[in-house]
Amino acid sequence: MDVKDYPAIVLAGGLGTRLRTVINDLPKPMAPVNGKPFLHYIFQYLKSEQIKDVILSVGYKHEVIKDFFGEEYLGIKVRYSIEEEPLGTGGGIKQAFDLIDGPAYVLNGDTFFGLPLWALQEYYFESKSDITLAIKPLEHFDRYGTVQMNEAFRITKFDEKKFVNKGFINGGIYFFDKKLFDKVEVGPKFSFEKDILERYTGELKFSGKVFDGYFIDIGIPEDYNKAQHDFK
């Protein structure tokens, strides 16, 4: 199958608490960057990657997102998985998969990571993984936890946030099949990172594919301001 045959779920329910000083009361992915919501740039990227179908996992102020993106944006079909109450990253993803049969890409709506999606998908099938994560190498950072992998790029451990000179981080883009949820025990509300990735690292096969493309996470004012310059 081509990359365009698989849909993308974009997590767009974030509150943007740490950005309150620089943006109004908006969902984080709607934070304006050069006059457009940050989510617009993710749609531009998905269009360039030939994605034809996007499910937006939304919650907080979802009407604002729906009013802007409608049922089609940049030629991409848009559907909505609406959380009536916060379900956590995992609960949001699981609910969005109700609208999908089979595999999908999953992306964070407040992070941009430029990589060829077909390569992530290809590695998922080649490695017979339960989940394939897009991994980003970084230097001199303390904002993210690190990902440990063996020589076969199987993920062996997720480490807590601490300062490291050099390491790999979870870039926030995944490819996996909805059947994953048959292999794990979770409630309706859960964290994808804690309750699946960290909890099942030893039991399930999680593989990492390393990409060194452009990466930005607008979760803090400093990087949000940097995005204004980078996305000109």
Write 200-205 long-range contacts (CB < 8 A, 24+).
200/130, 201/155, 201/156, 201/157, 201/158, 204/130, 204/131, 204/180, 205/127, 205/128, 205/129, 205/130, 205/154
Per-residue confidence (pLDDT) for residue 16, from 0 to 100: 56
Give the CB-side neighbour count of residue 181, counting CA atoms within 13 A.
20
Whose structure tokens read 């909890």? 199
Per-residue confidence (pLDDT) for residue 3, from 0 to 100: 66
Report the C-alpha gap between 58 and 81 in whole angstroms.
6
User: For the chain, which domains are there?
Assistant: 3-230 (3.90.550.10)
Q: Say which residues have a Cβ less than 8 Å from residue 101's Cβ, sequence separation at least 6.
A: 178
Per-residue confidence (pLDDT) for residue 15, from 0 to 100: 64
pTM passes above 0.75: yes
Tokens found for residue 202:
């030893």
SS3 of 30-96: the string is HCEECCEEHHHHHHHHHHHCCCCEEEEEECCCHHHHHHHHCCEECCEEEEEEECCCCCHHHHHHHHH
Per-residue confidence (pLDDT) for residue 221, from 0 to 100: 86
Query: Mean pLDDT in runs of 10 for the chain (232 residues)?
Result: 82 71 77 94 97 95 95 98 92 96 96 96 96 97 94 94 94 97 95 96 96 93 92 90
Write 98-104 long-range contacts (CB < 8 A, 24+).
99/55, 100/7, 100/9, 100/55, 100/178, 101/178, 102/6, 102/177, 102/178, 103/6, 103/175, 103/176, 103/177, 103/178, 104/6, 104/7, 104/8, 104/9, 104/55, 104/175, 104/176, 104/178
Tokens found for residue 33:
């960057």
